[in-house]
Structure 1
Amino acid sequence: MPQLNPSPWFAIMIFSWIVLMTIVPLKILNHKFPNSPIFTEPKALQSKFWYWPWH
């Protein structure tokens, strides 16, 4: 039975893992995101009081 012969299937498995572990992550990591994060200092909230006329 050809399924019991590990030489062609093992080679296909090793080659596919080499492709998945080398080429695919490089393509994903080289992807540029359009909105890069901008690190700024947090601003203090400027709240204004609004007095309600209670009459």
Structure 2
Amino acid sequence: MPQLNPNPWFFIMLTSWLTFSLLIQPKLLSFTPHNPPYNKDFTPTKTSSWPWPWS
């Protein structure tokens, strides 16, 4: 069964994970967001009740 042969696929997976974790991830984490989150005061809005015709 060739699906159980990890010879080429394990090396490809290992190489891709090492590339991601050592090269790509530090570059992505160094970016700063343009719109950073901030604390906003929560003020609930006043809603009116629905005028049901049968009430």
Per the normalisation by structure 1, the TM-score is 0.47
Greater radius of gyration (CA)? 1
Per the normalisation by structure 2, the TM-score is 0.47
